[in-house]
Amino acid sequence: METQNLLAGPPPTHLPDTPEAREALEAGAAASDVAARFPAFSAAWAALADEYFAQGHAVTSYAFARTGYHRGLDQLRRAGWKGHGPIPWDHEPNRGFLRCLHALARAALAIGEKDEAERCAQFLKDSSPAAAAELNGT
């Protein structure tokens, strides 16, 4: 009789790569241009969120992070994600979504949305402890 591990969680979700968008961003294209051309590419939204947060524009950063977060959720669902389970940081295409989740938590805290900041930070830790450690510098 074959047994099944009932304690195992869902398998890791791996988002598909978007080579043209990734390569444009890596080559130094403006994140705004990449986001306009590839609106589903969360890494461009994460770059915009980081850029505007660094300039002291927390509300704009929040908006960019939320856009990339929702685009990433759509892609995760299409990839079979059921609302929980690992989203590995070591899979490069997942990083845009995870960076948006981190940026959303950071910007939410900056604008006084403490509950959302905590929810997003916990979601990041639950999805990828490695991403949480990397992005939080711990």
**What are the tokens at 19?**
């080579």
Rounded to an integer, what is the distance from CA 13 to the centroid of its chain?
13
Residue 9 pLDDT level (bands cut at 50, 70, 90)? confident
Give CA separation, 80 vs 8, 9, 52, 86, in Å.
17, 14, 32, 12
Of all helices (H) and strands (E), which one includes residue 82?
none
Q: DSSP labels for 6-25? A: TT--PPPP-PPP-HHHHHHH
Query: Span 38-42, mean pLDDT?
Result: 98
Which pLDDT band holds residue 30 (cuts at 50, 70, 90)? very high
pTM confidence score: 0.93
